[in-house]
Amino acid sequence: MTLNFHTYKEIKQQPRVWKKAYDIVCERKNEISSFLHKYVDAGYSVILTGAGTSAYIGDALECALRDTLLKGASAIATTDIITAPELFFGKDSKVLLISFARSGNSPESIGAIKAVEQTAGSVAHIFITCNAEGELAKKKGDNVLCLLLPPETNDLSLAMTSSYSTMFLVCAMISNIEAIETDKPSIEALADAVEAAMEKYEDKLNEIAQRPFKRAVFLGSGALKGVAEESRLKLQELTDGAIMCAFDSFLGFRHGPKAVVHDDCLLVYYISPDPKVRRYELDLIAQVAANNKVVATVAVCQKDHNLKTDYIDLLVELGIDENIPARYSSLGNIFVAQMLGCFKSINMGLSPDSPSVSGNISRVVEGVILYI
């Protein structure tokens, strides 16, 4: 399938761009390592921040970085920092702020930096951004490290796709910067597996997108819960809010949120590669299948774990080696939501590049007044 939309092209380019991003990180290994150790070794708290999709990168990585140089990192959205920075920082705070920003021009990106610098005692910055002309990319200083991604990650479409995944991946890479060379097989295997899965399943995802669902739920555990969070947004914004979406963990979903499951619902399950975690997930899938009638169910897994396909309309097997660390492998799931959003947008008569007929959202957020 070939579609003449920026969104579609930006989804499909991701595996290729990930390999380019890896080369960029490797070329700057010594600089990145020196900068990180300067602050991490000095006890600086690592904060992962951004707004919207960029914030969800931190939400997914927060638990996936636990065995890395960035272990203990906390995700705090710029939108939360700006409104009440004193809730998170004090004059004794030492902060290494890792900011994710596609354009680097949103008012929250700039405002959060100012708010942290005014509130914390000492601050250093890592900017992971896609736009060489953005405000963040132009900031300089001994306490600043800017990681500029390949230019094609500066998505032309409204929805963040390759920008999200590549910023996510680069942060995961620098968390293991000392041994980044040993991660090359994992990065290449991830990219190759996702590229093959896109080709294998995109027609089937297009068929699912044709079905008459009006709401959708994405479920995941651990890092995959964070990926489910971004997935929820992708389908919702690409359909201009006509498809209302939710996300949760598998167990958390049982405690009230499962009320959203009606007969007009699409369910997307991101299955954990960990068999201990997967037991809980399969129980929930079986319960929903027994008690609810829905439009469609999609399950996404690294390998086929003998899932009962009578519970599932589409099983997407990514073919990702289960020894690849979660900070990388969890990213393999996101193309499913991106494609569902793109195809559903087209099916509804919208342009996925600019789906907001209502005008409620724009590529770079506008109209925010900063009281800083």
SS3 assignment for the chain: CCCCCHHHHHHHCHHHHHHHHHHHHHHCHHHHHHHHHHHHCCCCEEEEECCCHHHHHHHHHHHHCCCCCCCCCEECCHHHHHHCHHHCCCCCCEEEEEEEECCCCCHHHHHHHHHHHHHCCEEEEEEEECCCCCHHHHCCCCCEEEEECCHHHCCCCCCCCHHHHHHHHHHHHHCCHHHHHHHHHHHHHHHHHHHHHHHHHHHHHHHHHCCCCCEEEEECCCHHHHHHHHHHHHHHHHCCCCCEEEEECHHHHCCCHHHHCCCCEEEEEECCCCHHHHHHHHHHHHHHHHHCCCCEEEEEECCCCCCCHHHCCEEEECCCCCCCCHHHHHHHHHHHHHHHHHHHHHHCCCCCCCCCCCCCCCCCCCCCCCCC
The answer to whether the pTM exceeds 0.85 is yes
The pLDDT of 250-265, averaged and rounded, is: 94
Sequence letter at residue 82: I
- pLDDT of res. 367: 63
Position 358 pLDDT exceeds 80: no
Q: What is the per-residue pLDDT for 59?
A: 97
Confidence check: pLDDT of 360 > 80: no
Tell me the average pLDDT of the chain.
Answer: 94
Average pLDDT over residues 274-280: 94
Confidence check: pLDDT of 357 > 90: no
Residue 188 CB neighbour total at 10 angstroms: 14
> What per-residue confidence (pLDDT) applies to 322?
84
- Residue 351's CB is within 10 A of a number of other CB atoms, namely 16
Residue 371 is predicted with a pLDDT of: 67
Residue 370 has pLDDT above 90, yes or no: no
Contact 252, 200 (CB under 8 A): no
CATH topology of domain 186-347: Rossmann fold (3.40.50)
pLDDT band at 366 (very low <50, low <70, confident <90, very high): low
Q: Which residue type sits at 162? A: S
Write out the two tokens for 57.
Answer: 């990168």
What the block records as the tokens of 352 is: 């996925």
Question: What's the CATH class of domain 6-175?
Answer: alpha beta
Quick one: what percent of the chain has pLDDT higher than 70? 96
298: left (phi over 0), alpha (psi -120 to 50) or beta: beta
pLDDT tens for 164-196 read: 999 999 999 999 999 999 999 999 999 999 999
- Residue 361 has a pLDDT of 65
The pLDDT confidence band at residue 363, using thresholds 50, 70 and 90, is low
Contact 174, 147 (CB under 8 A): yes
The pLDDT score that the predictor gives to residue 305 is: 72
Where in the chain is CATH 3.40.50.10490? 6-175, 186-347
Neighbours of 296 (CB within 10 A): 19
Cα gap 99→126, rounded to integer Å: 6
Q: What is the pLDDT of residue 349?
A: 96
At residue 268, does pLDDT exceed 70?
Answer: yes
Q: Is 311 exposed, middle or buried (0-12, 13-18, 19+ CB in 10 A)?
A: middle
pLDDT tens-digit readout, 193-245: 999 999 999 999 999 999 999 999 999 999 999 999 999 999 999 999 999 99
pLDDT in tens, 286-334: 999 999 999 999 999 998 777 767 789 999 999 998 889 999 999 999 9
Q: Output the six-digit token pair for 304.
A: 């086929």
The predicted-structure confidence for 86-119, as pLDDT tens digits, reads as follows 999 999 999 999 999 999 888 888 999 999 999 9
Is the confidence at residue 365, as pLDDT, over 80? no
